[in-house]
Amino acid sequence: DTGVSQNPRHKITKRGQNVTFRCDPISEHNRLYWYRQTLGQGPEFLTYFQNEAQLEKSRLLSDRFSAERPKGSFSTLEIQRTEQGDSAMYLCASSFSYNSPLHFGNGTRLTVT
């Protein structure tokens, strides 16, 4: 059990550019969650996968955000045409089953200049 791995740890980009983050969950965890966290706030739910199926996506999530989980393994989160308001920590978590706790990675910190 090597834990949830997120890459990169930090990303600085210019407004209008596209960025992609990767999350590798704990092996055999079939559920994968993406959250966004800004300073002083709790994690905000973005989207959730069970295996390769995306079960729910936050209503707050702009169409500029898209997530995939091909073959039910790693996941990617892409943000198109980034805006300064997208600057945040993006957290990934995985869990073994429906009633298991989430295990988090250490996040990708995005700064949009």
- Residue from the set 17, 55, 68, 81 that interacts with another protein by CB under 8 A: 55
What is the spatial distance between Cα 24 and Cα 18, in angstroms, rounded to a whole number? 20
Q: Which positions from 58 through 87 interact with another protein, judged by CB under 8 A?
A: none
Distance of closest approach, residue 56 Cβ to another protein, in angstroms: 5
Asked if residue 41 lies in contact with residue 52, where contact means CB atoms within 8 angstroms, the answer is no
∠ CA 91-76-9, rounded to 5°? 45
Minimal distance in Å, beta carbon 46 to another protein? 11
Site string for another protein, 22-51 (x = CB under 8 A): ---------x-x-x----xxxxxx--x-x-
**What is the nearest approach in angstroms of another protein to the Cβ of residue 16?**
27
The nearest distance, CB 106 to another protein, in angstroms, is 5
> CB 105: neighbour CB atoms within 10 A?
20
Applying CB under 8 A, the residues found at the interface with another protein are 4, 31, 33, 35, 40-45, 48, 50, 55-56, 91, 93, 98-99, 101-107
